Chain A
Amino acid sequence: MNRSVATPLMLASPGAVLFAGLVIVPLVLTLILSFLAYDHGTGIKDSWTLAHYMHVLSDSYYLGIFWRTLRLAALTTLICALIGAPEAYILSRMRSPWRSVFLLVIIGPLLVSVVVRAFGWSMLLGSTGLVNAALAAVGLGPVRLLYTETAIVIALVHVMLPFMVIPVWTALQKLDPMVEAAAWTLGASRFSALRRVVMPQVSMGLLSGSLIVFGLSASAFAIPGLLGGRRLKMAATLVYDEYMHELNWPLGAAIAILVLVANLVIMLAYNRAVEARARRMLG
């Protein structure tokens, strides 16, 4: 009796210890840190304060960065959905040798470090990069791409696309190809069959892909760091700056907590919408 109660606890303990050690403890420490007072002369002090939160929430500099993070993450998600869904559909209708080849092409970039890929983009988009060289060749003036939001979004889309394609592709795999054919025989054009029959069934994959892409984009560090430059900051690079350049750890912690809460709220709300839909569709 006693033993049967203890067994599951014992079995769960390695995971629990790992989770507590790697997630809970650092998070609690960060939370505590964010409420500690800070003085530029003497550093972190031993008294409690809400000043950091007040400061962040009332300063348009920080709010602007939060807003940019939200905007760029949402834009990246949208573009990934617009490119990824058709890509997954085409992939699922390919014949056997090509399908594996293209699947590899899509997943391949995941094997290369994000930092390397970000450097690659900075070389392509720079003022003397390939893109501007090509534009110059056709007689168009140089455009400023590097260190703009455009550059960040382009690189984020590139990095995040597999996270959109794979869930949509999985959803398509579960679909009986005859279901689409049935819609055709009932008089639906290719487009209406896609819209009325295929789309609603891959929407679950699309929604979960969006959740992943949004979460990863909103907390991306390397890409905004390398392609946004010193001035164009996103949430993660801002936190880094507060810690490493300003040395104001409590303020950095407060920003990190705020970003975490905002991310959680958005993703949970979104997830609820997804689950409500799933309940309706899958029972």
Chain B
Amino acid sequence: MGFLTLEGVSKVYGGLAAVRDVDLAVARGEFVSLLGPSGCGKTTTLQMIAGLVEPTAGRIGLDGRDITREKPNRRGLGVVFQSYALFPHMTVAENVAFGLEMRKVPRAERDRRVAEMLALVHLANLAERYPRQLSGGQRQRVAIARALVIAPPVLLLDEPLSNLDAKLREEMQFELRRIQRSVGTTTIMVTHDQAEALSISDRVVVMEAGRMTQIDAPYRLYEQPATAFISTFVGKMNRLAGVWGDGGVAVAGTVLASAPADVAAGTAVTAWIRPEKLHLRPMGEGRLAGRVASRFFLGGHWLLTVGTEAGDILVSVPNTGEEPAREGEPIGLDWEPASLRVEAGAGAAA
């Protein structure tokens, strides 16, 4: 069922395991993001799929075929490199045409497809420039066009949008998604931008130190992070160390109402809750009293740090057009008990 499959794939660089025993099955037409901090092995994984790095162990399959030892030029995958890797001595149009030329596409059709692709990435007027005459974002779009024009069965993108400004980035995300939907290209995109991974993908793969620690739909990844690292890497998270008591978690003497947990009373636990699951209440109401320590305006919402007896807690308040509590103001905090999750162990509060 997996169109592209990795089975027990590892890569060791002189004693250092860059990728460890990775399993992944990507369905045909799926858009998967590889998300993780710098140096966790995202590029290495992508390059093993592209055939540029030979796995130390494991199997890679494409459409039922074992491609583990196949040469990169036989795999026919579209790759956008982190460093763009444009051909410096060729113009933008020549760069994009290269893959078609290698496929012996006739001249007229080649020119037509190159022009179409350049229009798609908004570079039609720069076709005759050389890469050195382009900005970082423009180079990145040339790299995307060059990979897309050959209509590959699988598209591998290594941080393809990292150098674009916010607006163009959103536009290109939308564009990538549109192309991917209309052509049905199976896509794997590496990113360390969690918002991008969540918004664009069907599934997100989180990598930590060479391992894939969670593979899930964006919504589930956000709601049910598998590890403490993921909970803080994807979105913001309040993590409080406490002790399990009846009906709640005791944190620094205050008992917080929470979802039921499968642990014995008296066990050390970590409670966690997303900032947007907390609601501001007037002073004296709610489940926990506190005082606003700092306040940031982020456009769509406000991010407040509230000092409480249980520690500093981040609260996200939607922007309704009215200012929420000011710094120094005493307030109450409330939440649905089900939103406060509990896990055993005093897990390092992040």
List A residues at the B interface (Cβ < 8 Å).
176, 178-179, 181-190, 192, 196-197, 200-201, 281-283
Cβ of A179 and Cβ of B150 under 8 Å apart?
Answer: no
Cβ of B102 and Cβ of A201 under 8 Å apart?
Answer: no
Interface residues of B in 38-58 (CB under 8 A from A): 50-52
CA distance A186 to B151 in the complex (A): 11
Which of B71-79, B163-171, B175-183 makes up part of the contact surface? B71-79
What are the residues of chain B within 8 A of A182 when measuring CB–CB? Answer: 79, 81, 85-87, 146
What are the residues of chain A within 8 A of B102 when measuring CB–CB? Answer: 186-188, 192
A selection of 8 A-B contacts at a CB cut-off of 8 Å is: A176-B85, A178-B83, A179-B85, A179-B86, A185-B51, A186-B102, A187-B102, A197-B87
CA distance A200 to B86 in the complex (A): 14
The chain A residue with its CB closest to the CB of B149 is A186
Count class of interface residues, chain B: 20 to 34
Question: Is B88 an interface residue when CB atoms closer than 8 A count as contact?
Answer: yes
CA distance A201 to B89 in the complex (A): 7
What are the residues of chain A within 8 A of B86 when measuring CB–CB? Answer: 179, 182
The chain B residue with its CB closest to the CB of A187 is B102
What are the residues of chain B within 8 A of A281 when measuring CB–CB? Answer: 88-89, 130
- How many A-B residue contacts, CB cutoff 8 Å? 67
- Closest beta carbon of chain B to A23's beta carbon, Å: 37
Question: Is B133 an interface residue when CB atoms closer than 8 A count as contact?
Answer: yes
The chain A residue with its CB closest to the CB of B146 is A186
CA distance A282 to B130 in the complex (A): 9
- Closest beta carbon of chain B to A189's beta carbon, Å: 6
- Closest beta carbon of chain B to A106's beta carbon, Å: 26
Cβ of B132 and Cβ of A185 under 8 Å apart?
Answer: no
What are the residues of chain B within 8 A of A196 when measuring CB–CB? Answer: 98
CA distance A258 to B214 in the complex (A): 77
Are A283 and B132 also in contact (CB < 8 A) when A176-B85, A181-B85, A185-B52 are? yes
In the complex, which of the residues B50, B76, B132, B150 contacts A282, with contact meaning CB atoms closer than 8 Å?
A: B132
CA distance A274 to B31 in the complex (A): 47
CA distance A282 to B89 in the complex (A): 8
- Closest beta carbon of chain B to A47's beta carbon, Å: 58
CA distance A273 to B79 in the complex (A): 36
Cβ of B72 and Cβ of A184 under 8 Å apart?
Answer: yes
Cβ of A181 and Cβ of B72 under 8 Å apart?
Answer: yes
Cβ of B73 and Cβ of A189 under 8 Å apart?
Answer: yes
What are the residues of chain A within 8 A of B72 when measuring CB–CB? Answer: 181, 184-185
In the complex, which of the residues A178, A184, A186, A201 contacts B88, with contact meaning CB atoms closer than 8 Å?
A: A201
In the complex, which of the residues A185, A200, A283 contacts B77, with contact meaning CB atoms closer than 8 Å?
A: A185
The chain A residue with its CB closest to the CB of B78 is A185
Question: Is B99 an interface residue when CB atoms closer than 8 A count as contact?
Answer: yes
Cβ of A179 and Cβ of B146 under 8 Å apart?
Answer: no
Question: Is B103 an interface residue when CB atoms closer than 8 A count as contact?
Answer: yes
What are the residues of chain A within 8 A of B77 when measuring CB–CB? Answer: 185
CA distance A281 to B78 in the complex (A): 26
What are the residues of chain B within 8 A of A184 when measuring CB–CB? Answer: 51-52, 71-73
What are the residues of chain B within 8 A of A197 when measuring CB–CB? Answer: 87
CA distance A281 to B50 in the complex (A): 29
CA distance A183 to B143 in the complex (A): 12
Cβ of B83 and Cβ of A176 under 8 Å apart?
Answer: yes
In the complex, which of the residues B52, B89, B98 contacts A181, with contact meaning CB atoms closer than 8 Å?
A: B52
Cβ of A186 and Cβ of B98 under 8 Å apart?
Answer: yes
